[in-house]
Structures are given as structure tokens and as C-alpha cells.
């Protein structure tokens, strides 16, 4: 087996903004795994404000482990063992590992001529998946246009990025209430660690006067006691994103499972094995999950997340991502794996249950990536 690392460079159609970052292009790593003529591909999205990773740290992790992986991992069973015996290293490099793991999983699946689900002993991916509309923290008129476009497509499930300007947040909710009152909307908000204390968070959220499906990361990361208070005072569960990175965190949340929703992003969690473990543990604890996405994911991470969403079953609250060329100026796959009207992605339209590997037809790597391993 041979592994190669690349940096993905794809501009967005529009700048995506929230409190922690503003982004106009992808920030992703791409791994190609090859044995003989068979290749597999994987993607990861290092984010400094989520897992402390950068493109540089991802490259360092790849260089540290590439040789030993090529020497010792010859099967899916070997790969699973590697994940289980390198927990601490993956904990600090989840996006880098995600790209490597996904590439090797596809390579092994293509060697057998089956979808990735088959080598994981999971059901193949069929049916429809419904995605949320994600609205960034834009100025008022842009916000209005974006929401109107989503509504015209039939979206009813929204995730709104909050601002540190309370008046601006009020204006957003007012528009949702007055301009789209004809349809009941499911709205959750993402604060991206906006507030410094419980009292301010509760006051500002109450003033928005909406029964939110969930409130994502209202306080600083890992401020669990404070976030419990926010949930108790607002009546909305807390969605954990930056504050939830490992499966062993589930146990501490189980005692008041009704207060939490876990955002499971494949890159953030460190690949498919670890994402599936979180979904299983959360289900056993009675904690709902959202299968999320990093801004700028391509069709490869979208495809991997479908496996996780299907595994979550009825415990799935919402699904994010699958933006494809709604956000990217171009994607790595043709056709692009992305949602359509109503936010629905129909897996059967792509024959994912019968095609080998991820089942995607990819453009040449040199069209969208720059080598980091030559």
C-alpha cells in the first residue's frame, strides 16, 4: 500500500461567516491510498478552533505514521486495530486521521468490489436523507435573501449562526417569525461559544423568544455545568460540538441525557470507526445526535456521513452538510453528491448501494489538490 497527502483548494461561491471564523475556500486535506491499480480517497477538515489542528499539523501526523501504516495495515481488521491502539494520537489529530482512514477503507472496499458499508458489516446506503438549511452570520439583507432561497427550495429545518450583536440576532428571529409564519419551522441556533457567563446567555436567548430545537455551544468549550444551567433555564437542549470530541465523554452526559444533543462530524470525531462508536454509545444513553459537517466538505465526507446518519437511525435529530456546488465553486465528484429540493439527498439516484468504495466518480486529483507528500 502507498499513501499520498494533498491539500484541497476549492473556492466558495460565497463567504461563510460565524463567530469563530470567516471562510471563503476549503481548508481540507486529501489522502489517496493505493495498492496495485486500486485506489481509495479520503478527506479531513482540520480546524484550529474545533480540534486545534492545522494543515501543518495534519501533514506532520501523516509523515509520522505513513510508513508504519503502509507496512502493517493490510486489511480492515488491521485498520480497526490501529484505531483502537492509537487513541491518544488520533485524539489530537482527528481530521488528519479521518482522511487517512477513509482512503484506506475505500481502497479495501474497492479491492473487494463492494461499497464501504460492506467491509464495515453495515447495511448499504439507500433511501432519502433530509438536510438542514445552514445560515451564516451575514448582514440583514443577505440573511433575508439566503433564508428566502432556502424556503423557496422547501426547507423547514434551519440552523442559524448567532452574532455577538444582540440586535442583529433579534432581527434574524423577527424575520423568521414574520416573513415565514405560514410554515412551522424547526430552528436551532449555533452560538459558537458566544457568551462568557450563564446569566448573559440565558437573558439573550430568552429575549429571542423562540422555542429552539437546540442551542449549540452557548458558552466556552467544555463548560458543561454552565451549559446545563442554560438548558434548564431556556428549556432547550444544548448541542455539543467543540465540547464533544471523544466517545468516552458520553458517560458523563447520560445522567441528564435530555439536556444534550451531540453533533457528530466525521472529520471532527476522527473518522468512521470513531463516529460510529459515538452514535452507538449515544443511542444507548438516550442522547440524540446530529450528523454534522465542516464548512467546505466535498462529496467524499458527505458520502462518509451518510453511513453515520443511517447508523443513527431514529436517534438522528438533524443532518448537516451535502452543500456540494451550492457552496463550492466546483466539487471533486461528478455528479456531485448534494441535497436538492427540500434539502433531500436521494442515495438511490447515485447507486451508492451497488457501486464499489464510496461509489463516486472523481475528477483528476490535480484539478483540485496540491501535493504535500512529494
CATH number, domain with residue 132:
3.20.20.120
Between 299-312 and 94-112, two packed helices, what is the crossing angle to 10 degrees?
Answer: 90
Note whether 332 and 208 are same-domain residues: yes
Predicted confidence band of residue 21 (pLDDT cuts 50, 70, 90): low
- Is the bond into 316 cis (omega within 30 degrees of 0)? no
For residue 111, what are the CA distances in angstroms to 34, 39, 361? 10, 9, 16
CATH assignment at residue 38:
3.30.390.10
Residue 9 pLDDT > 90: no
User: Does 260 lie in the same domain as 155?
Assistant: yes
Give the confidence band of 104 by pLDDT, cuts at 50, 70, 90: very high
106 and 147 assigned to the same domain: no
Q: Mean pLDDT check: name the lowest of 60-69, 174-183, 214-223, 314-323.
A: 174-183
Regarding whether 136 and 104 lie in a shared domain, the answer is: no
Task: Assess whether 189 and 214 both reside in one domain.
Answer: yes
pLDDT of residue 312: 97
**Mean pLDDT of all residues belonging to the chain:** 94
Asked if the structure places residue 179 within a domain, the reply is yes
Q: Domain count for the chain, please give it.
A: 2
Taking 70 as the threshold, does the pLDDT of residue 167 lie above it?
A: yes
Same structural domain, 223 and 266 = yes
Does 186 share its domain with 87? no
pLDDT digits over 261-310, tens only?
999 999 999 999 999 999 999 999 999 999 999 989 999 999 999 999 99
- Beta strands in 151-259, from DSSP E residues, in sequence order: 157-161, 186-190, 215-216, 238-240
Task: Find the mean pLDDT for residues 127-142.
Answer: 93
Could you tell me if residue 103 is inside a domain?
Answer: yes
Looking at residue 23, its pLDDT comes to 65
In a domain, 225, yes or no: yes
Per the structure, the complete domain to which residue 21 belongs is given by 2-116+360-369
Above 90 in pLDDT, residue 22?
no
Q: Which pLDDT band holds residue 16 (cuts at 50, 70, 90)?
A: low
Whose CA is closest to 269, among 45, 7, 6? 45
Report whether pLDDT(254) > 80: yes
pLDDT at residue 140 in the model: 87
Provide DSSP, 8-53.
Answer: E--EEEEEEEETTEEEEE--EEEEEEEETTEEEEEEE---HHHHS-
Residue 270 · residue 97 · CB < 8 Å: yes
Q: Average of pLDDT values for 206-231?
A: 96
* Residues above pLDDT 90, as percent of the chain: 85
- For residues 112 and 138, membership in a common domain is answered with no
User: Percent of the chain, pLDDT > 70?
Assistant: 97
Q: Which of 124-133, 233-242, 359-368 has the lowest mean pLDDT?
A: 359-368
Q: Both 171 and 320 in a single domain?
A: yes
53 and 155, same structural domain?
no
Element (H, E) at 88: helix 87-91
With respect to residue 162, please indicate whether it lies within any of the assigned structural domains.
Answer: yes
pLDDT digits (tens, 9 = 90+) for 24-38: 778 899 999 999 999
Question: Is 321 inside a domain boundary?
Answer: yes
Flag whether 79 is in a domain: yes
Specify if 355 maps to a domain.
no
User: Are 85 and 164 members of one domain?
Assistant: no
Pair 100, 198 in one domain: no
Is the Cβ–Cβ distance between 124 and 357 less than 8 Å? no
Euclidean distance between CA atoms 143 and 171, whole angstroms: 10
In a domain, 121, yes or no: no
Amino acid at each position: 500500500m502507498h499513501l499520498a497527502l494533498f491539500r484541497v483548494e476549492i473556492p466558495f461561491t460565497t463567504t461563510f461567516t460565524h463567530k469563530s471564523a470567516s471562510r471563503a475556500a476549503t481548508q481540507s486535506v486529501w489522502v489517496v491510498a493505493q495498492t496495485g491499480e486500486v485506489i481509495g480517497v479520503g478527506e479531513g477538515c482540520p480546524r484550529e478552533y474545533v480540534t486545534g489542528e492545522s494543515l501543518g499539523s495534519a501533514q506532520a501526523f501523516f509523515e509520522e505514521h505513513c510508513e508504519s501504516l503502509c507496512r502493517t495495515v493490510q486489511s480492515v481488521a488491521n485498520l480497526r486495530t490501529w484505531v483502537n491502539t492509537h487513541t491518544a494520537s488520533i485524539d489530537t489529530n482527528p481530521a488528519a486521521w479521518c482522511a487517512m482512514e477513509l482512503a484506506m477503507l475505500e481502497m479495501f472496499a474497492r479491492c473487494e468490489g463492494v461499497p464501504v458499508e460492506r467491509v464495515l458489516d453495515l447495511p448499504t446506503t439507500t433511501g432519502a436523507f433530509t438536510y438542514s438549511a445552514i445560515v451564516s452570520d451575514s448582514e440583514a439583507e443577505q440573511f433575508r435573501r439566503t433564508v428566502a432561497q432556502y424556503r423557496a427550495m422547501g426547507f423547514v429545518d434551519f440552523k442559524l449562526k448567532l452574532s455577538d450583536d444582540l440586535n442583529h440576532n433579534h432581527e434574524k428571529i423577527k424575520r423568521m417569525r414574520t416573513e415565514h409564519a405560514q410554515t412551522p419551522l424547526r430552528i436551532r441556533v449555533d452560538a459558537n461559544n458566544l457568551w462568557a457567563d450563564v446569566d448573559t446567555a440565558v437573558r439573550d436567548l430568552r429575549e429571542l423568544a423562540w422555542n429552539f430545537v437546540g442551542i449549540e455551544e452557548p458558552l466556552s468549550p467544555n463548560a458543561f455545568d454552565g451549559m446545563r444551567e442554560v438548558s434548564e433555564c431556556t428549556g432547550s437542549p444544548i448541542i455539543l460540538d467543540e465540547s464533544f470530541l471523544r466517545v468516552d465523554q458520553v458517560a458523563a452526559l447520560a445522567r441528564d441525557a435530555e439536556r444534550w444533543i451531540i453533533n457528530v462530524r466525521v472529520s471532527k470525531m476522527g473518522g468512521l470507526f470513531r463516529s460510529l462508536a459515538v452514535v452507538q454509545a449515544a443511542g444507548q444513553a438516550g442522547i440524540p445526535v446530529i450528523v454534522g459537517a465542516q464548512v467546505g466538505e466535498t462529496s467524499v465526507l458527505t458520502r462518509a456521513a451518510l453511513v453515520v446518519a443511517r447508523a443513527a437511525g431514529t436517534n438522528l435529530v438533524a443532518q448537516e452538510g451535502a452543500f456540494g456546488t451550492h457552496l463550492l465553486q466546483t466539487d471533486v465528484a461528478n455528479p456531485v453528491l448534494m441535497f436538492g429540493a427540500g434539502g433531500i439527498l436521494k442515495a438511490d439516484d447515485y447507486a451508492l448501494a451497488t457501486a464499489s468504495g464510496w461509489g463516486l466518480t472523481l475528477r483528476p486529483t490535480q484539478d483540485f489538490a496540491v501535493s504535500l507528500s512529494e
